[in-house]
Amino acid sequence: MNLHSPQVQGFFRIPADQLQAAPILCDYLRQSRDLANYVLVAGDVGESKEVGEYANRLNLPIAIVDKRRHGDDENARATNLIGDVKGKVALIVDDEVASGGTLMEATRFVLERGRRGGSLCRPARKRIDKIHVQSVARLVADAIHAIHDGSSVSRLFR
């Protein structure tokens, strides 16, 4: 599901398909809120391609946090923001969260630049009322079923 790097598929000894959560997440966002004043934000330059895919699906503008490391530590600091977040609801997208440092730094930086509200993903064990977890269980179940009965997995890609 959403491989951090699509090239990883080449390391499998059997055919593998990468399932995508974007259609499910985008459907949820379209149905649950008015996106007229939203902006999608990439927490770092490496996430900009994925954020661009979300932006195409949702017809939203994007902003990108430019962060730099100043040493051999894990502490990257945001230095620039590419795009406009002033007065907008910022939706920060990231495909992988280990410590949350990139998300927290991006959130801090975007807040300082005048965003109006926002969203941040957290693991299920850390749920709070302001965070909604969208399940991909049906997609995974459909993929397993298709593989088991030999039907097309490609019908799951949209």
Q: Which residues are catalytic?
A: 67
CB contact set of 131 (below 8 Å; sequence gap of 6+): 119, 120, 121, 122
Q: Rounded to whole angstroms, how far apart are CA atoms 97 and 61?
A: 23
Q: Is there a contact between 133 and 124 (Cβ–Cβ < 8 Å)?
A: yes
H or E element in which residue 10 lies? none
Assign 90 to helix, strand or coil. Answer: strand
